[in-house]
């Protein structure tokens, strides 16, 4: 019974982790002349590779969740990842958290709550 929620939560958390890892990785210094989209670039910026792996696992958990939830219920839950990434961006990358962003997060949360209770 609770397994379906674990799949859905894992998918959202791994998707958010993937975004944070890729942001971290693209900001890492690379050796001169090494592009990000080369084998050496990806191994040097390992968080990018880890972020892509998180996306892969997120997709697997998403498929498991879709077996249990209607798409119209499950998909809005993905937007909770937007809020998580916003907070992590602030905590890890010193990105701004404006009142406008908080209002947006509140609207997203309210919409997800309305859909989840339907």
- The whole-model pTM stands at 0.85
pLDDT at position 37, please?
65
DSSP string, 57-81: HHHHHHHHHHHHS-HHHHHHHTTHH
Quick: pLDDT tens for 34-57: 666 666 666 677 898 899 999 999
At residue 113, the pLDDT reads 87
Tokens at residue 25, please? Answer: 């990785």
Confidence of residue 9 (pLDDT cuts 50, 70, 90): very high
Q: How far apart are CA 81 and CA 9, in angstroms?
A: 10
How far apart are the C-alpha atoms of 25 and 73, rounded to whole Å?
A: 33
């Amino acid at each position: 019974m609770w397994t379906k929620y674990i799949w859905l939560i894992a998918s959202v958390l791994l998707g958010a982790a993937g975004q944070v890892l890729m942001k971290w990785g693209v900001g890492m210094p690379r050796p001169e002349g090494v592009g990000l989209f080369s084998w050496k670039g990806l191994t040097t910026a390992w968080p990018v590779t880890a972020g892509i792996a998180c996306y892969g696992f997120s997709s697997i958990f998403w498929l498991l969740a879709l077996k249990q939830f209607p798409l119209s219920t499950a998909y809005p839950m993905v937007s909770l990842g937007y809020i998580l990434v916003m907070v992590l961006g602030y905590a890890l990358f010193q990105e701004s958290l404006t009142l406008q962003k908080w209002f947006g997060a509140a609207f997203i949360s309210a919409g997800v709550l309305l859909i989840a209770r339907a």
